[in-house]
Structure 1
């Protein structure tokens, strides 16, 4: 349903329009406006390092000129293989100033994955951490189109090393490396060389691609979603309006910047606001607590696993997160019991948001200041209501629209939906139906429903449904029950082969520090609270439940495990 078509929502958005009109055509204009409005304000804070918007403007000018000098042309792609460091933001804006498209790459990717993304994107330039170049990229690049390599250290742009953020080890000796035909240059040296230079002007339309973000590949090879400048501007502005954020807010960069949540909810949102973004290389719970105490951020967004980790950090206490006035969480299912436990510990409510790479981050959100309802039948916490200008339908397998309460596929249309997948017209046609009577509509692959008041609920991914002797079991429901156990820190449920039932329910859990329980106790706990076909017949206790860097459970890896 469209936000504007549901009058009851106005009480959650009093004083806000039901629809928003983008303030900018493209993301580069959004950044240059921020630099003009707040030149001496902090754009980036990185440990003891500070980069103002004026300096960030100069650094990105220098990068753009350096790229063009190396043969980078408008429309070319620069891949960024980095952690949460200032160089990511410099690379993103510098690429736009050179007329190019940025490609974000997970720093956990290894040779095969890196080569696949470089080949698919056709990137001609790579900006990466020195260690990743030495350990991974150097052996891959000779087989790619990359001609220019810019290397950088996570210790650049800061003045304080913290062993929790920076791994031990020496700075690689790049001079002795085999470049494999690519020109390898130190980023800081290049920025100094072209300092003060101004790139030729470029302009973008709203439909031009700003960056490629690759899907996780859980249903096949990763696909490059073409997030347009219009997508980026709209959802950056939507975040600001939905969360009532302004220039004087301070954003905590806790989500990975390569992921769409970090790109929009941290990087481009900060630029829309002309506000500071706090970075600390990579997430470590105790370090995160200290950074929050020191920098006093007011807003952040991250996967629920991040907030679970903060609750269990050894230096966490009720005052640790006192500066944070608004917290949103997306990217992974949120157990209602965790939201309550977080509030009990820190006095802050976590607000659910929902979206995908293909929706350029949020398509739904829980209105700030409200608590999303919990479905009494499944125990699922609502992911909220559609954000501004967004229409969401629940469709059956034949494409028919379902009424409230009926479960089907969530399909979304709005200004945040991507133009398609890079060089994949067939996948684009399959995922984005081009009904001439309707705007492009994304078929998300997520199963859920809308209740009579307009709240949306995610049941699960289609492929994750468990068929136990003909009965359908959704992992989310079992996980939410396990989260109610006082010893459980994280839970993940998958279907595993069973001779009698065909498939049965297995749970993997990690425990809170100092807590103790047994698999049999957890099975009994769930059995008391669920139908007989739903409760897990097997439970395995792990030190950590395997997850992607964005906090999504690696169910495929869990399915491949065998019980000891």
Structure 2
């Protein structure tokens, strides 16, 4: 037995977290069908002042499946969903499965080149798009792809309040496309023959963020979806009486699993808000009595700075996870002090179908004294994670290396990219590209991405460590650290920060602050104060953009 088998599953964790599980369902549709049978008339989606019951979602998704089949869709084909957090996203996703297809989620921030790349790579034959995204972006590229059917819809459907993020939204004519509302009305009441899907059938093509190069379509199977939907449910303790707050983008793996799949499994209503706005989100939490959410730490930073945020408004939100970006210990402490709720760290990748690690509920993540990193927890059910050196050899506790993950949540590979699959997921074993270590008690810590390490005059600097120190300053809202060219050192440390509302501080003061807490070679030689730091839609810092910025040189 390896040290990982011995140390990962510690006696302090419950037997349920250590023992292999038998899943209740073979595929995501069976999971949803059980919820429809159990609770047909309870809300499964809430959208502003509108709602959709489990029975209605079943009917609407059948109508969607019948509609695309009528338009020529065949089993195994791909449907790209290009939308914000709206009910139509869920309808199209479940309807695609019922038609025997593969759902492909596209980031609504994509422009022409990026969307065309996804459409071409996936070979999609159907595109579902918000009207504004179609007229502004998709209409310019869809003709150059294999897409035969375009379905458009408005964010104003399924509600009547037109408030919050929908204020000022208007419907747009999209000639040559099928209106989704009209299609659902025309085919409502029809059912389609059961799709031939099983555990190893691909449910999604979930494209990587592209922060390290062209996006790759991770082939997320139904087994992957079912497994990690159960992981969220059982690890955190989510039931039908919970209310899921949809702050993560639905196109991202966190939204797909921690929001949609979890709701389909448990029957807990999923609250959607089109786009995340801090003030609106606080109001929604209070009104809907949301109990659970998972999102990037930038979401929780934004909530802390919302003008209407207070303990009473967030009193129901007792089950909180954060992943996708490093969590400074100071931010966890500040959030708990303000709202009384502890943020549980969670870690995973697109390729692990969301979580591979989580801090067990009822425990608090330790913080490494040397690096200041908050532990991402321990591996979740049936998951083994090794720390290896550059030659693939296991490293002992405390030694820093790459995380290599094996478990039922690891995806089948990358769509039409056998070489990339062989490089990153040989024989189903995921080489994450993330660098970290396991301590002697079995807790895991992520230091950084391999590619982000800074080499300053031969000294190795991890951006994460410098960022965590900057977050300790009262004026700093967000921080990002990169390596920039330096004629003397080869590379040196530069930081970009944004400030809390009303706060003032100079770059020189921040540099002095880091010098009192870090070795000299780790301290930024330059700090640039920005109104906002560029991030992906899921909150990951876009260090590549910062390195390429005209002002990046120190």
**TM-score normalised per structure 1:** 0.96
Question: What's the counterpart of residue 311 of structure 2?
Answer: 318
| Structure 2 counterpart of 1:235 | 228
Give the secondary structure class of the aligned counterpart of 2:141. Answer: helix
Structure 1 Cα separation of the partners of residues 488 and 256 of structure 2: 47
Which residue number in structure 1 is paired with residue 417 of structure 2? Answer: 424
Which residues in structure 2 correspond to 1:369-384 (within 5 Å)? 369-384=362-377
Distance 2:88 2:550 in 1: 41
C-alpha separation between the residues in 2 aligned to 1:73 and 1:562? 48
For residue 172 of structure 1, what is the aligned residue in structure 2?
172
After TM superposition, give the deviation of residue 11 of structure 1 in Å: 2.9
Q: Tell me which of 521, 525, 541 is aligned to 1:553.
A: 541
Number of equivalences:
551
5+ unaligned residues in a row in structure 1: which ranges? 435-439
Cα distance between partner residues in 1 of 2:56 and 2:11? 41
Name which of structure 1's ranges 13-22 and 481-490 shifts more when overlaid on structure 2: 13-22
Identify the match of residue 387 of structure 2 among 382, 394, 399: 394
Distance in 2 between residues matched to 1:444 and 1:519, nearest whole Å: 35
1:79 maps to what in 2?
A: 80
Q: CA deviation at 1:276?
A: 0.5
C-alpha displacement of 1:325 = 1.4
Are positions 1:496 and 2:484 aligned together?
A: yes
Alpha-carbon offset, residue 5 of structure 1:
4.3
Q: Give the distance between the partners of 1:388 and 1:419, measured in 2 at CA.
A: 18
Distance in 2 between residues matched to 1:6 and 1:40, nearest whole Å: 45
**Secondary structure of residue in 2 paired with 1:410:** strand
Q: Do 2:402 and 2:432's aligned partners in 1 also have CA atoms closer than 8 Å? A: yes
Task: Report the 3-state secondary structure (helix = DSSP H, G, I; strand = E; otherwise coil) of the residue aligned with 1:353.
Answer: strand
C-alpha distance in structure 2 between counterparts of 1:253 and 1:194, whole Å = 28
Alignment of 1:533-544 (within 5 A): 533-544=521-532
Cα distance in 1, alignment partners of residues 237 and 314 from structure 2:
19
Shifted more, 380-389 versus 198-207: the winner is: 198-207
Aligned to 1:437: none
Report the Cα distance in structure 1 between the residues aligned to 2:12 and 2:394, rounded to whole angstroms.
Answer: 27
CA distance in 1, matches of 2:430, 2:121: 22
1:9 aligned counterpart, secondary structure: coil
The one of 446, 466, 471 aligned to 1:483: 471
Map 1:79-98; keep pairs closer than 5 Å. Answer: 79-98=80-99
CA-CA distance at 1:17 after TM superposition: 5.5
Per-residue CA distance 1:523-546 (angstroms, 9 max, x = gap): 000011000100111001001111
Native 8 Å contact 2:17 2:380 kept in 1: no
Mapped contact 1:546–1:554 kept (Cα < 8 A)? yes
> For residues 318-344 of structure 1, what are the alpha-carbon distances to aligned partners after superposition, in whole Å with 9 as ceiling and x for unaligned?
222100111000111111100000000
Match of 1:69 in 2: 70
- Tell me, yes or no, if the aligned pair for 2:63 and 2:191 is still in contact at 8 Å: yes
Q: Secondary structure at the match of 1:22?
A: coil
Q: Are the aligned partners of 2:483 and 2:491 in contact in 1 as well (CA < 8 Å)?
A: yes
Q: CA deviation at 1:3?
A: 8.6
- Report what 1:107 is aligned to: 108
CA distance in 2: counterparts of 1:324 and 1:381, whole angstroms = 22
Choose which of 258, 282, 290 in structure 2 pairs with 1:265.
258
SS in 2 for 1:254: coil
Indicate how the Cα distance of structure 1 residues 169 and 241 shifts in structure 2: closer, same or farther if over 3 A, else same: closer
| 1:301-357 deviations in Å (ceiling 9; x for gaps) | 000000000000011112221001110001111111000000000000000000000
Residues 30-88 of structure 1 show CA distances to partners (whole Å, capped at 9, x for unaligned) of: 11111111101101000000100011100001111111100101001000000000001
Deviation string for 1:160-216 (max 9, x for gaps)? 111x412635322223xxx4xxxx100000000001011111131111100100001
> CA–CA distance in 2 between the matches of 1:474 and 1:167?
43
Cα deviation per residue 1:474-515 (whole Å; 9 max; x = unaligned)?
000000000000100000000111111111110100111111
RMSD: 1.4
In 2, are the aligned partners of 1:2 and 1:389 still within 8 Å (CA)? no
The 3-state SS of whatever aligns with 1:533 is helix
Q: 1:507 aligns with which of 487, 495, 512?
A: 495
Say whether the 8 Å CA contact 1:3–1:18 is kept in structure 2. no
2: CA distance between counterparts of 1:524 and 1:242?
42
Post-superposition offset of 1:110? 0.4
What's the offset of the Cα at 1:159?
A: 1.4
Where 1:412 maps in the other structure, the secondary structure is strand
Give the aligned partner of residue 124 of structure 1: 125
Q: Which moved more, 1:417-426 or 1:7-16?
A: 7-16
Q: Give yes or no for contact 1:3–1:9 (8 Å, CA) kept in 2.
A: no
Counterpart position of 2:52? 51
Which of the residues 469, 476, 479 maps onto 2:457?
Answer: 469
Map 1:430-441 onto structure 2 (within 5 A).
430-434=423-427, 440-441=428-429
Deviation readout 1:245-284 (Å, 9 max, x if unpaired)? 1111110000000000000000001111011100000101
Q: Which of 206, 221, 226 pairs up with 2:219?
A: 226
Structure 2: tracts of 5 or more residues without a match: none
Once residues 290 and 40 of structure 2 are traced to their aligned partners in structure 1, the CA distance between those partners, rounded to angstroms, is 20
Corresponding residue number in structure 1 for 2:240: 247
Answer yes or no: is 1:160 the counterpart of 2:153.
no
Inter-partner Cα distance in structure 2 for 1:44 and 1:432: 35
CA 152–304 in structure 1, closer or farther in 2 if over 3 Å, else same: same
CA distance in 1, matches of 2:386, 2:191: 47
